[in-house]
Structure 1
Amino acid sequence: MDIYQDAVEYLELQQIPVEAEADVLEEDVFQEEGGSCFLSPLPGDTIDLPDTPTLFTPEELLEKRLVVLKGMLESEEVYLRELETLLMPMKALWASAGTSQPVLSSRQLQTVFYQVPELRDLHQSFYSGLKARLSAHCQTDLGEEKDITQAGHELTVGDLFLKMVNQIGLYGGFIQNYEDAVQVVRKCTQSDPRFRTLAESMMSNNGAEKARTKYTFEALLYKPLDRVTKTTLILLDLLKTTPVEHKDYVALQEALRLSRSFLAGVNESSQSKREVTLSHGMRRQLMRDGFVVDVSELDRSLRHLFLYTDLLLCTRFKHATRGKQDQYRFCWYLPLAGLKLRWTADQERSSDTLLRLQTIRSKMYLLQQQLKQQAKVSRVLAMAARSRKKLEQMELMLLTHSPIYRLELHSPSGKSHTLLLSSLYELEEWREAILKLTTDNIETVPPDLLTLTSSCVKLRMTQQPPLHSSSSNSSTSSSSSSSSTTSFVEDEESLCGTLSVAIHSASGLQQPTSVYVCVEVDGYEFYDKQAQTHSSVLSLCPHWDQELSFQVDGAQNMRVLCVSQSDGQDDTVLGKTTLKLDSKTLNKRWRRQTLQLGQVEVTLSLKYSPHPLEPPGSPAQQQPVFCVPIETVAQQEGVLVPHVVRCCVEEVERRGMEEVGIYRISGTTSEIAMLKAAFNSNLREAVTRLRSAEVNAVSGVLKLYFRELPEPLIPAELFQSLARTLDIQDFNSRLVSMLSLLQNCPDPNRHTFFYLMHHLRRISEKQHINKMSLLNLATVFGPSLLRPPVAGLGHDAFVVDISQEVVVQVQVVFCYLQCNNLPEAQIALPHDTDAEDETSHT
């Protein structure tokens, strides 16, 4: 039965004549220009339904009431099938949103399906209750020859209607969002053939008839608008067929009043919303919302931020108490016109803050383990609810105290506000959305703050803070508790274990830039879920080969950002993307990928080791690099040439190639000590300081690193053999012998030595400026790189006097520097041992 025929039969049942018309297509439901979401006039204004007739007997009246209820049940069944059809592709579209070629973006999906699942759940609950009441009534009627009037009076449904109408506010959010949803559908239908195929052929099974009805996506989106009016119409008819003395009468009367009031409010709101027109003709719309931390006088408070077309509104969210609606309280607002943005990252957290975060995370971890156990036992729902409540409170504390990214907002009027976010990716999305609106030079219309704040409940897209322990329904009923508990059951598609990310290089930069890569993973908040590489030297194709490691629990997505860093200027996000983490394709072998981040391409490798996680401990401290065997440092960093060597070499080649006496003239002792301490504690911080340090201090750090190695870079047991090669008269034969001896060195020693030798050769190419010849450089580095064995430490004594020792050290290094076929250094371990490179364009 199609919608038009359903309507005809309904009107005929009410003795209203209907003129025969041609077939109506689904597309004909959109007759108003611009897809306006004004609802039909209130029922009773245009349809003349008779008052409760006095000619009908009580039995006839109750029979007609039963017909209306059965018609309502059938109509609800059709409506539920339509909502299910609308929701059918949602899961697949969400899965596609995390891929490199999404059909719809996450933002578009939120808009298109906004409030639809909630409406489906609302009507499913109502339908189940009504069906159970009618089934029980019909069985009683057949089984016990009861008086029809008595049976009719015993059939009560008013509480079901009242319960449904009390939640009719869900339609408010849908209606406010409707035009935006239709706009997305139309736009994507035109631009994406994949979505067009889907949007033009939504099929629904037609109940027992097993026929299939074809809808368009846009037609299905219209169904809730049609339904909310039809519900009021049926309530009116039900009240007219319900005797005044019936138990349902008062409840139905109240339900009809609430329903009519809601429709009137929606139409009035839509009208007033149209009157808020900005200077360039655009209507004020909600563009984005979400939870942020607002900093005021050093106090942190979790706030719900709303971005409208012309202003930012900051509100305090107040959860609904039983029987009441969610509410928002106004905090502040800033017009977008002339608004200036600046973002920074807090470099260091205090020890008190770190201890506090560690305590919260440890408690959260233990509560989550309890919930996983309780989820397996249905008898402990009450206990699980208490544990979940505690977990939510701790998650809110973590959301408030863990953010490190600061977004500063400065208005021309002199007002300023600072927001904190945990994710650089999310901060950049906010920044992009605000800047896109401010570039339009919007002049704001002063808002009615009371009306604007109260409308947030209907307009919001983010229902609640992003808490893992919360179910989609914030109700404390047993059903929602059960669904929330099951959210802790292990998801086969999510990652639990160690995720390693090796950042190799970037390309596509328009000019030489100092950049770093930021990686974020999702999942539970028990472990640090963000890490960054150190910043590169100015380059068109920066290289890092830096390994980042994450302990993950429930991770499904990884975000990657490429950020440029300029002296004296704010950092700039050059590009970002999201990568879906697939546990089926990731394993303990490295998998290499190239990601497209706007115009920048970042090459990285991933590997994943699933295993049960230990409770979160104190934040992992970086192991020291000075005075530690080079093999240990290389293994810790997952490289062959330690980062301290590479970073110092890169910085010297950037600024010191023409510095007279480079490596011979010492830097400031205090600055060298400061850089050494930084490399021992925080590589990223050390490299940042390196960029602004005196170049002779940078070269001094490199010399100090080799000088303080417990074992020299060229192992001591090779000293005697290398000394003997100096007696070989033929220079080429001597080099062959010396290179063969290096094959006995551990890989990190050998490749670091080659890396340093090539660097020193490049330095000597500028000797006419820097006055550092190969011999000068060999004289500086020889004693640090090569040392005789120490007697009594397991080595054979090789006695030479001090003058001979220095000669050997200098001459050996000098020979290597003169070698024209010196092998190239391999900087990092291979990370592409799986298949060929996979390029993902997102």
Structure 2
Amino acid sequence: MEVYEEAVDYLETYGVTVTAEREMEPDLLEDVFEVDFASCSLHADSIDLPDTPTGWTPEVMLEKRLVVLISILTSEEQYLSELETLLMPMKALRAAASTSQPVLSSQQVQTVFFQVPELRDLHQEFYTALKARLQPAQSQEPEAQLQHGDKQPAAVGDLFLRMVSQLGVYRGFIDNYEGAVEIVRKCTQSDQRFRTLAESMMSCKVSDNSRTTYTFEALLYKPLDRVTKTTLVLHDLLKHTPQEHQDHALLQEALRISSSFLSGVNEESHCKRAVTLSTGMRRQLMRDGFVVDMYEGGRSIRHLFLYTDLLLCAKMKGGTAGKQVSYRFSWYLPLAGLKLHWGSEQEQSADLQSRVSTMRGKMFHLRQELKQQRRGGKGYRTLDRNRRKLQQIELWLLTHSPVLPLELQSPNGKSHTLVFSALYELEEWREAIEKLIGENAETVAPDLLTLTSSCVKLRMTQHPHLQSFEPECEDRSLCGTLTVAVHSACGLPQPASLYVCLEVDGYKFYDNKAQTRLSLSSLTPQWDEEFSLQVDGAQCLNVLCVQQTEGGKSGREDKVQGRSSIQLDPSVILKKWKRWTVSMNHAEVHLSLKYLPHPLEPPSTAPVQHQPVFNVPIGVLAQQEGVLVPHIVRSCTEDVERRGLEEVGIYRISGAASDIQILKNAFNTSLREAVSRLRTMDVNAVSGALKLYFRELPEPLIPRDHFQSLADALENPDMRSRMQSMFTILQSCPDVNRNTFLYLLHHLKRVSEKQEVNKMTLMNLATVFGPSLVRPPEMVLGQCGPRVDISQEVVVQVQVVYFYLQSNNLPVPLTAMPLDSEEEADT
């Protein structure tokens, strides 16, 4: 495929170095990282480009740029017509393959048209978007277009960057090209029907609507030619785009990616190397990306390559000061027998937490400065310098802030640990690796030098995923508060204990992750929890449904049962709730979203303190958690219902005081840690912790000023009037108190349904909880008022709870605040 070598030579004659990239200035690193930058030496990629042609004013350049864009649109239309012509006989050939006289076999049809539909879809999307951007400019005649600067099209750099980021689709076509051409040539010689088809394919030209005759083989060559033209067109467009133009940096990055892809294909055309396994299968690259590799004494960003039979970890070298990109071998693990384990979150040292907070603060202020500079029309060099500073900060955070480990253990005793920022990404890698482990039968020892060298031409990911690499799109991203209410799930094949994880993309200087409590083992788990996330640049919400099961000595094991992603559209969820149903595997998770835009405050450098749970007014705690029934009440009652309903004397027999204290400290420190400990504790300790929570409330669940009213209502001899009074008093309680009380009553009634086993009748339960839930007013010095003796107080406390427990029409409690004006939306 000499066309690639010719294209590279052509670019070099115009001063475009395909792989040469400029080096980050030393003072830039010192400016961003005042101390201890040695632990993160990776820097962002860029490309040296020719200077703007001398003598051209920005106005002249914009005029020529418009002409280039219109010619690109025309060329795309022609290319799409050629791809459609190539695809035209596909359906007929595929249908004939199942008859007694096929023209091509099904396998041959698949080989001949491999990746062509995907190429057509890729360019159709690009053409449609580009045409929409150019519509105002195309509405005038060419002469008029060049005279009206106000008809210049909107920015298009993001379209080109998105298109070249998907050039990996072409690699499959290129790898398959020789086999497809061989089939076409053989069938053209041996089958008259195919020869007639192959020599008379037509395409409709756009300019004059005339028809051109192509051969099948000529149409198959069009995508190869297109790869070269894409790089040349980007070079031409960039040459006519002023450096101050908002498209310049995006086109610069697009040209770098396109040139790198072209260079890799050119290398591959000269030296194709592939390991053939004894089964006849070729080693293929299935996935690659940048990850954080953790080793003794530190962590580094590495490029991870997942092949059909092994994992290869390599360090990227070069790419600056004219040096070509290369890879240095770090380690590899065969997939056969490989064990994967998603470990618990790693704890960061106080010093690291402080440094992360400092870097997040720097990133926040640098982004604000960049926005002001863009509005003020600052020069390209200033903007580029600050943009690269931002990239360096992101790289540092990408290296040091991840806390989710994926442990890889090989049968030969070797092990490595990768750490991720998002559970969604971790699960993508785990799923891809485990799928290949299940399909893999053997591993052939690789030629590590050859395999590592081939990474340059095989790689599909060019650089770490940084938000600062993405085009600016403030109208399509979220900056402010994203509120997510997680309601319930349904469609589970069997009962399970689940929790839901939420992850939002964007700049990572706020805590943009959240997790529900663990639900009771159920086919239809209910959470009804609300989370407010401070987001900046957010465009995507990841939703993961995680199951927790018994895990032997470890006490628990977590496994992702399903995951999905929601594209966040600010206009859809702006200031109003939108209900979503997220499908994942067999389950559906129901949630609601609402977005409130507002300027963000600089991130605090102080570590986030978890608010205590015990000895805090229940209204304050519920407000902090965004619920009507606190998590501790729901978690403890659900755990009792899961494994304590048949425990004799549950709520009457207390657990060990030390265990209850451990649970109390856990709830005061971390809800997630507390819920995990519940599963390993004696169930009597769980019930004891719940009783202790109600006992230590500063104000009882039933407010003290209702005590006398309840006592009077109990003395009413008329049953109907007594019931009306009791429920009127209950209705007058604050929302959180009333709903928590009702939630507890329904739970205790379910406990009493097993009284033949657990010996806990409604009266027994009322005797246990009455003194904690209903308390008389405290006597104030010098104040006179009605006062009953202690024995009467206890009677009232027990009788109040017993009365409500006996009721057959208890209202159903709300666990979260109802959402206002919800609208339905499907995901």
Q: Same fold (TM over 0.5)?
A: yes
Q: How many residues align?
A: 642
* Counterpart in the other structure of 1:290: 289
Q: 1:586 to 1:174 in 2, by over 3 A?
A: closer
- Aligned-pair CA distance for 1:457: 1.6
Q: 1:468 to 1:704 in 2, by over 3 A?
A: same
How do 1:129-168 and structure 2 match up within 5 A?
none
The separation in 2 between residues aligned to 1:637 and 1:514, in whole angstroms, is 21
- Aligned-pair CA distance for 1:179: 4.2
Q: 1:75 to 1:424 in 2, by over 3 A?
A: closer
Asked if the contact 1:171–1:224 (Cα under 8 Å) also holds between the matched residues in 2, the reply is no
Unpaired stretches in structure 1, ≥5 consecutive residues? 1-37, 44-73, 91-107, 121-168, 186-200, 232-259, 472-486
Asked if the contact 2:81–2:204 (Cα under 8 Å) also holds between the matched residues in 1, the reply is no
Equivalent of 2:518 in 532, 535, 538: 535
Is the partner of 1:725 in helix, strand or coil? Answer: helix
The separation in 2 between residues aligned to 1:562 and 1:652, in whole angstroms, is 23
Asked if the contact 1:315–1:328 (Cα under 8 Å) also holds between the matched residues in 2, the reply is yes
The separation in 1 between residues aligned to 2:666 and 2:82, in whole angstroms, is 52
The separation in 2 between residues aligned to 1:600 and 1:206, in whole angstroms, is 49
Asked if the contact 1:170–1:458 (Cα under 8 Å) also holds between the matched residues in 2, the reply is no
The separation in 2 between residues aligned to 1:783 and 1:633, in whole angstroms, is 22
Asked if the contact 2:574–2:594 (Cα under 8 Å) also holds between the matched residues in 1, the reply is yes
TM-score by length of 1: 0.69
* Counterpart in the other structure of 1:267: 269
The separation in 1 between residues aligned to 2:789 and 2:213, in whole angstroms, is 96
* Counterpart in the other structure of 1:812: 800
Cα distance per residue 1:293-318 (max 9 Å; x no partner)? 11111411110011112221111112
Equivalent of 1:509 in 470, 492, 496: 492
Asked if the contact 1:177–1:459 (Cα under 8 Å) also holds between the matched residues in 2, the reply is no
Cα distance per residue 1:382-409 (max 9 Å; x no partner)? 3323322222221111111111221122
Asked if the contact 1:114–1:461 (Cα under 8 Å) also holds between the matched residues in 2, the reply is no
* Counterpart in the other structure of 2:614: 626
Q: Which amino acid aligns with 1:609?
A: L
Equivalent of 1:599 in 567, 570, 586: 586
Asked if the contact 2:174–2:224 (Cα under 8 Å) also holds between the matched residues in 1, the reply is no
Instruction: State whether structure 2 residue 755 is matched by structure 1 residue 767.
Output: yes
* Counterpart in the other structure of 2:307: 308
Unpaired stretches in structure 2, ≥5 consecutive residues? 7-66, 84-114, 128-163, 181-200, 231-261
Equivalent of 1:677 in 665, 672, 675: 665
Q: 1:682 to 1:261 in 2, by over 3 A?
A: closer
Equivalent of 1:727 in 715, 734, 746: 715
Q: 1:579 to 1:172 in 2, by over 3 A?
A: closer
Asked if the contact 2:486–2:590 (Cα under 8 Å) also holds between the matched residues in 1, the reply is yes
Is the partner of 1:622 in helix, strand or coil? Answer: coil
Q: 1:819 to 1:550 in 2, by over 3 A?
A: same
Q: 1:519 to 1:217 in 2, by over 3 A?
A: farther
- Aligned-pair CA distance for 1:575: 0.9
- Aligned-pair CA distance for 1:611: 0.6
- Aligned-pair CA distance for 1:595: 0.8
Instruction: State whether structure 2 residue 501 is matched by structure 1 residue 518.
Output: yes
* Counterpart in the other structure of 2:161: none
How do 1:244-643 and structure 2 match up within 5 A?
265-270=267-272, 272-273=273-274, 276-346=275-345, 348-470=347-469, 487-488=471-472, 491-568=474-551, 570-617=557-604, 618=606, 620-643=608-631
- Aligned-pair CA distance for 1:203: 9.4
Asked if the contact 1:115–1:173 (Cα under 8 Å) also holds between the matched residues in 2, the reply is no
* Counterpart in the other structure of 2:729: 741
Greater mean alpha carbon deviation, residues 433-442 or residues 776-785: 433-442
Asked if the contact 1:342–1:570 (Cα under 8 Å) also holds between the matched residues in 2, the reply is no
Asked if the contact 2:291–2:418 (Cα under 8 Å) also holds between the matched residues in 1, the reply is yes
Q: Which amino acid aligns with 1:318?
A: K
Q: Which amino acid aligns with 2:480?
A: G
Asked if the contact 1:86–1:202 (Cα under 8 Å) also holds between the matched residues in 2, the reply is no
Q: 1:79 to 1:727 in 2, by over 3 A?
A: closer
- Aligned-pair CA distance for 1:549: 2.2
- Aligned-pair CA distance for 1:81: 5.0
Aligned-residue sequence identity (percent) comes to 58
Is the partner of 1:300 in helix, strand or coil? Answer: strand
Instruction: State whether structure 2 residue 769 is matched by structure 1 residue 781.
Output: yes
Q: Which amino acid aligns with 2:569?
A: D
The separation in 2 between residues aligned to 1:556 and 1:76, in whole angstroms, is 28
The separation in 1 between residues aligned to 2:621 and 2:4, in whole angstroms, is 76
The separation in 2 between residues aligned to 1:777 and 1:420, in whole angstroms, is 48
Q: 1:746 to 1:86 in 2, by over 3 A?
A: farther
The separation in 1 between residues aligned to 2:498 and 2:817, in whole angstroms, is 22
How do 1:750-761 and structure 2 match up within 5 A?
750-761=738-749
Is the partner of 1:577 in helix, strand or coil? Answer: strand
Cα distance per residue 1:415-454 (max 9 Å; x no partner)? 2211111111111111121122222224233322222222
- Aligned-pair CA distance for 1:464: 0.5
Is the partner of 1:492 in helix, strand or coil? Answer: helix
- Aligned-pair CA distance for 1:228: 8.1
- Aligned-pair CA distance for 1:522: 1.0
Is the partner of 1:536 in helix, strand or coil? Answer: coil
Cα distance per residue 1:786-836 (max 9 Å; x no partner)? 11112339997331221221111112212122222222212222236322x
Asked if the contact 2:406–2:426 (Cα under 8 Å) also holds between the matched residues in 1, the reply is yes
Q: 1:405 to 1:669 in 2, by over 3 A?
A: same
The separation in 2 between residues aligned to 1:314 and 1:499, in whole angstroms, is 37
Asked if the contact 1:789–1:795 (Cα under 8 Å) also holds between the matched residues in 2, the reply is no
* Counterpart in the other structure of 2:819: 831
Q: Which amino acid aligns with 1:324?
A: K
Cα distance per residue 1:198-227 (max 9 Å; x no partner)? xxx9999756x5879899999888435247
Q: 1:115 to 1:314 in 2, by over 3 A?
A: farther
Is the partner of 1:692 in helix, strand or coil? Answer: coil
Q: 1:311 to 1:736 in 2, by over 3 A?
A: same
The separation in 1 between residues aligned to 2:675 and 2:5, in whole angstroms, is 69
Asked if the contact 1:504–1:545 (Cα under 8 Å) also holds between the matched residues in 2, the reply is yes
Equivalent of 2:173 in 175, 178, 183: 178
Is the partner of 2:391 in helix, strand or coil? Answer: helix
The separation in 1 between residues aligned to 2:490 and 2:168, in whole angstroms, is 44
Question: Is the radius of gyration larger for structure 1 or structure 2?
Answer: 1
Q: 1:398 to 1:816 in 2, by over 3 A?
A: same
The separation in 1 between residues aligned to 2:70 and 2:282, in whole angstroms, is 37
Is the partner of 1:799 in helix, strand or coil? Answer: coil
Q: 1:701 to 1:793 in 2, by over 3 A?
A: farther
The separation in 1 between residues aligned to 2:501 and 2:666, in whole angstroms, is 20
Asked if the contact 1:327–1:454 (Cα under 8 Å) also holds between the matched residues in 2, the reply is yes
- Aligned-pair CA distance for 1:176: 4.5
Asked if the contact 1:86–1:220 (Cα under 8 Å) also holds between the matched residues in 2, the reply is no
Cα distance per residue 1:461-485 (max 9 Å; x no partner)? 11111122237xxxxxxxxxxxxxx
Instruction: State whether structure 2 residue 675 is matched by structure 1 residue 687.
Output: yes
How do 1:192-203 and structure 2 match up within 5 A?
none
Is the partner of 2:330 in helix, strand or coil? Answer: strand
- Aligned-pair CA distance for 1:414: 2.2
TM-score by length of 2: 0.71
Asked if the contact 1:501–1:547 (Cα under 8 Å) also holds between the matched residues in 2, the reply is yes
Q: 1:42 to 1:712 in 2, by over 3 A?
A: closer
* Counterpart in the other structure of 2:32: none
RMSD: 4.0
Cα distance per residue 1:626-677 (max 9 Å; x no partner)? 2222222222222211111111111111111122221122222222122122
Is the partner of 1:531 in helix, strand or coil? Answer: strand
Q: 1:230 to 1:711 in 2, by over 3 A?
A: closer
